[in-house]
A and B are shown apart, each in its own frame.
Chain A
């Protein structure tokens, strides 16, 4: 029996695949296999009962040893065969993807969409006005009298029909008050135009986002808190802001809102020109005359307004050094802003 086992071991070792292992199994354990027939070919009558028991035990041991050997060999062969199949398939999953269909969204639109979401979350509705605007809404109704320097030919694109290309999104303030009344919380993102020479930091076509909140007893304290909350969301962290006097005919008092430089934390760096502050948002309490133009009683209501340069925000956010790129038509520029929304 030991000889049989030795021979089996040799046969198993020689088997290279599962098919050959199966042949070995048939040779030893098949119906006519060497081990199967071992019992048949033995004349038990000539054995004592002691010998019979001993033979039976050894046969069973041999059988189970053989089964175990074959089982292991089969598993090993099958695993090797799987490996072989996979190797033949030759999948290279490290190759780059194909069929990508993602385009890009204009960087200013990206910033606009983000700010719209933030403001909507703060209860501001989003309104759009007109790019071709009446002189009345762009100037008169904003307490900018006919002789104000802002109306000079060199600053405003005038149309032959007497209308103009709006010079600021503030032109929406009185339109919105007329249409929607008070209380009102609204932002007006949009394109504005000023007739100036173009260079890396000046464009005749740019985007602003105006905000207006009118309600009872609106104060400077409210303005600061809303701006602080807003900017913390824009910059995704707590920001420090400060107000200082600034003059715009349609607010009283008027402010320049500075945000503490996010790069140096206020210590002073090249970005903030060593001042520790970045001038960001002109704002103020709505001038009573503007409320009156919007048919709102300034004795009952007050409000604040602010203007953000969307183009400037996009330049800051994406590190774009030249304002002319936005209208350049060069897809190598636009492609850099994937359609993330």
Chain B
């Protein structure tokens, strides 16, 4: 929204205040100023000229040879504007004039004719960028009069961020900003000139029915006889052009002017095309041709203005082509109505018809504007000097809600919200400047909320306090830290686990934390061969193949292997994020998972060693999160394609499954990594339940030196380490203080299918140094245990 200071000056005097101060105070008190623009117009030497003769030039079908009367002188000029015609009054720049584009007008020879000076478009005068035709002046202007009388050479536009106006329908017009500036600078606000509509009450009522008060709470209209097609006064045209609006004719420009002045959209129907107005929804699907000539597909709910049985306007959005005023219209029905914001928004968004009118109705205009819009329009008609006749009384259906809405606010509320005492007289003064009724009554502030502020905008005490404080100035409020009793600050256990996991994986094991989107791509799932079963799905996904919300993290993490293998020979990545599963009754179960992937391009160590290094990280993680050892148990068949028996293990804490880990089998590894080996894991962090601070018990240090004995045991590879451990754990001997696994050897010289597992037994006694006999006793007992269990030494 652009605000013209030229226009503002009709209502409040702030010319003595520097523009940057005006812009800054508006930002601080009202709405964000995005830019300040200066309009420079070239009107010096330009005069009102009347086309008294206009002839075709046979050699140049687009050009006319024109005689222009400028009062004291006549000029002959060649003009190419489509709207040049005999009788038209337009700005004329005689030779020697410098126009906005920098061109100095000279006497020229055009198509064989002498051309002295030019008739000007708004763009040539610097009024706007519109150059498709001449600026048309009202016929009442005297020929030869300097144009500067009506079009000053300068204006300043303040551009406001529309987003900061969504809650302020009153600021979608200049008068609202004039009111704000009057309050901000404590200057008087001149009242909006309006006619007293009651003078027409004796005239007949216009036939008007509203069928849908829900969506049209108030509708007003007045029937007029007036030449709609004459040019509008230049003050109206210059201001509309300054805002980038092109001008058409008196009635159309007038309705636009009212809208840009008070925010209220009005519409002019050709009075001969309408006889009785009805406001009702379409009721069935259909089409309607709007005045831009487009046929619009409508839904039954769309609200229309009807002439008896014929739709004539798409309510609050755009008028119809059939009933539009034309240059020859002399009978006008002026509509000023109020529509429900959401109704207008839905229709205009769906049709992508974001007209200025629709944008304003969407913000929720106050119903009183139905009346103010009409009264202001008639006043502008009077000011234009164009004669008109009122044919009907101002006919209204619905409630104008003209009365101020009373509200009592304890002064304590004002001071409490501010955090300091606000001077009462100043608060009352601010509210009155903003058009509120305000009275200090003891401990209470009695307020009348003016009708021009919508109910959505102002209805509760907090709304009124905001009005006071923003004008009072937030910079005048002294910051003060809140007090309050000391309270225990509970630890967020879930977040703590997440951060601990980050510290272990990234801090001690070289993992890189990544993040993925929460949706899964069906194409990738198909490549993986993963059917996730029931998942939550997006109604409006970011891409058609990305409808499913992830029930696990791994698929998206695995998708990162291929792109990253181009950058690194090996890497470890992890992600902490939410996963989702549908629940009964359209519910959702949301859990926090931790998943990781480790990649090595082929040839860098064997897969078993690779897996063990990741398992080591998980063992560390388990120790940090739980203080206990996680258990890893061979996994069986599983719905996840990355869980192939022999290639994956379940991870348990006690008897609770908390996750899984494994190596991608060669088939899937090819899909995921093309070449190389991939180790993965996924944990349900919420399933890992343990005390925040794990309990650790001190074990006494050995007083007497320990001895050790190493044994390399042959064992079936397919049976696995776990089962060897299970056997060894059965061997009890009082001297054993610790059994340590050193390494596994698979290679030449071993029996088929067997590997050599080397263990170190640490031996000690609490009260003496061990003797050779004692150690020999242990050896004998252990070797016979091995023999009983069919285990031979390497």
Contact = CB atoms under 8 A, between A and B. Distances in A.
A132 B549 contact: yes
Interface in A94-112: 100-106, 108-109
B406 interface: no
A224 interface: yes
B741 interface: no
B462 A252 contact: yes
Nearest to A221: B419
Contacts of A109: 499, 502, 513, 576
Contacts of B341: 147
Interface in B474-526: 474-475, 477-482, 484, 486-487, 489-490, 492, 494-495, 499, 502-503, 505-518
Interface stretch (B26-34, B109-117, B308-316, B377-385): B26-34
Contacts of B495: 116, 126, 128
B610 to A, nearest CB: 16
B586 A220 contact: no
Nearest to A218: B482
A309 to B, nearest CB: 16
B506 A330 contact: no
A56 B139 CA distance: 146
B578 A246 contact: no
Contacts of A287: 462
A80 to B, nearest CB: 41
A161 interface: yes
B590 A130 contact: yes
B416 A217 contact: yes
Contacts of A246: 164
Contacts of A130: 578, 588, 590
A160 B586 CA distance: 9
A252 B506 contact: no
A327 interface: yes
Interface in A231-261: 242-247, 252-256
A206 to B, nearest CB: 11
B234 interface: no
Interface in B564-611: 564, 567-568, 571-573, 576-578, 580, 582, 586-588, 590
Contacts of B345: 147, 149
Contacts of B577: 191
A298 B470 CA distance: 22
A83 to B, nearest CB: 39
Contacts of B460: 252, 288
B538 interface: yes
B474 A101 contact: no
A163 interface: yes
B540 A225 contact: no
A14 interface: no
A321 to B, nearest CB: 18
Interface residues of A, number: 79
A106 B578 contact: no
Contacts of A213: 482
Given A128-B494, A244-B28, A228 B513 contact: no
Interface residues of B, number: 87
Given A204-B542, A225-B480, A220 B489 contact: no
Nearest to B509: A101
A253 B469 contact: yes
Contact of B511 (A103, A132, A217): A103
A163 B586 contact: yes
Interface in B213-265: none
Question: For chain A, what secondary structure do more than half of its interface residues adopt (helix, strand, loop), or is it mixed?
Answer: mixed
Given A103-B512, A228-B479, A245-B470, A159 B492 contact: no
A316 interface: no
A160 B538 CA distance: 6
B477 A339 contact: no
B513 A334 contact: yes
A330 B566 CA distance: 10
A245 B484 contact: no
A219 interface: yes
A158 B514 contact: no
A103 B567 contact: no
A215 interface: yes
Given A213-B482, A221-B419, A329-B514, A247 B503 contact: no
Contact of B517 (A105, A113, A285, A327): A327
B539 A158 contact: yes
A220 B509 contact: no
Contacts of B507: 101-103, 339, 341
B650 to A, nearest CB: 26
A329 B166 contact: no
B564 A255 contact: no
Given A195-B540, A226-B481, A253-B466, A104 B506 contact: yes
A185 to B, nearest CB: 8
Contacts of B346: 147
Interface string A145-166: 0110100110001111111010
A239 to B, nearest CB: 12
A204 B517 CA distance: 9
Contacts of A75: none
Contact of A128 (B31, B462, B492, B586): B492
A259 to B, nearest CB: 14
Most buried by B among A183, A247, A287: A247
Nearest to B508: A101
Contacts of B14: none
Contacts of B587: 161
Nearest to A120: B489
B484 A221 contact: no
A341 B482 CA distance: 29
A222 B28 CA distance: 19
B781 interface: no
B536 interface: yes
Contact of B540 (A104, A158, A191, A330): A158
A102 B512 CA distance: 9
Contact of A326 (B167, B492, B509, B515): B515
B792 interface: no
Nearest to A130: B590
A287 B167 CA distance: 15
Contacts of B549: 132, 159
A253 B462 contact: yes
Interface in B2-33: 27-32
Interface in B413-435: 416-420
A225 B474 CA distance: 12
Contact of B462 (A195, A228, A288, A341): A288
Given A105-B506, A120-B489, A219 B538 contact: no
Interface in A114-129: 116, 120, 123-128
Given A195-B542, A341-B499, A341-B502, A225 B481 contact: yes
Contact of A103 (B489, B505, B564): B505
A312 B31 CA distance: 23
B787 interface: no
B194 interface: no
30 contacts: A101-B508, A102-B510, A103-B511, A103-B572, A109-B499, A109-B513, A123-B484, A123-B489, A124-B489, A146-B342, A147-B346, A149-B362, A158-B538, A165-B518, A185-B484, A220-B417, A220-B474, A220-B477, A225-B479, A225-B482, A246-B164, A252-B460, A255-B474, A288-B462, A326-B515, A327-B516, A329-B560, A334-B512, A334-B513, A339-B503
Interface of A: 100-106, 108-109, 113, 116, 120, 123-128, 130-132, 146-147, 149, 152-153, 157-163, 165, 183, 185, 191, 193, 195, 204-205, 213, 215, 217-222, 224-226, 228-229, 242-247, 252-256, 285, 287-288, 302, 326-327, 329-332, 334-335, 339, 341
Given A109-B513, A183-B487, A334-B514, 13 more contacts: A103-B572, A123-B487, A125-B490, A130-B588, A157-B539, A204-B517, A204-B542, A221-B418, A221-B419, A244-B32, A253-B470, A285-B417, A334-B573
Shortest 3 CB-CB contacts between residues of A and residues of B: A221-B419, A219-B419, A147-B342
